[in-house]
Amino acid sequence: MGGNEVACFLLEGRGEWEDLKARLLRSFPDLLFQLVDARSGSNERFFRLITAQTLKASGDGSLLARKPEVDLLLRLARTTQISEALARVGYKRGEKRILIAAGKKGEVMRLVASGIVEGMRLRSVELSENEWLSVEEAAILSALRT
């Protein structure tokens, strides 16, 4: 992933995503942020591998959608249909959610150190067989588009 990094946080409670997103974008305008349903994963390494695909596609000009945030959602859901992706992994109001932050390593580390995100950082562990399959399926989406 070169000089890129990913940090994922489990967010609980009823905090307003729009407020948090506005603060994050104001403080860290160069980072990619996506909020997903907590049931979509619990392993930071899994999210890191999928996010790496999005960051590479963004650099290559081969995103599955116009915006990297949408590309990431599509890859996590393993579909090219936005409505399907939202149904599968999109954050539903009032539920536990995962905040994914990605970008240049220094910026992500600055975000982590800032404490602006009030959530527990996800553990990064070896991927399960199902997680590996999901990473492969997400990568295949790019091949299907070419």
Tell me the domains of the chain and their CATH numbers: 4-145 (3.30.2380.10)
What DSSP letter does each residue of 11-40 carry, written as one string?
E-SS--HHHHHHHHHHH-TTSEEEEEEGGG
Tell which residue, 30, 45, 44, has the closest CA to residue 111. 30
Cβ atoms of 7 and 108 within 8 Å: the answer is yes
* Cα–Cα distance for residue pair 112/102, rounded to 1 Å: 11
CA dist 64 and 53 (Å) reads 11
Q: How far is Cα 35 from Cα 21, in angstroms, rounded to an integer?
A: 9
Query: What pLDDT is recorded for position 59?
Result: 92
CA distance 23 to 80: 30
At residue 1 the predicted structure's pLDDT band, cuts being 50, 70 and 90, is: very low
Residue 18 has pLDDT above 90, yes or no: no
pTM recorded for the entire structure = 0.92
Residue pair 27/115 in contact by the 8 Å Cβ criterion: no
pLDDT digits (tens, 9 = 90+) for 37-90: 999 999 999 999 999 999 999 999 999 999 999 999 999 999 999 999 999 999
* CB atoms near residue 140 (< 10 Å): 11
The whole-number pLDDT of residue 20 equals 84
Q: Note the pLDDT of residue 140.
A: 93
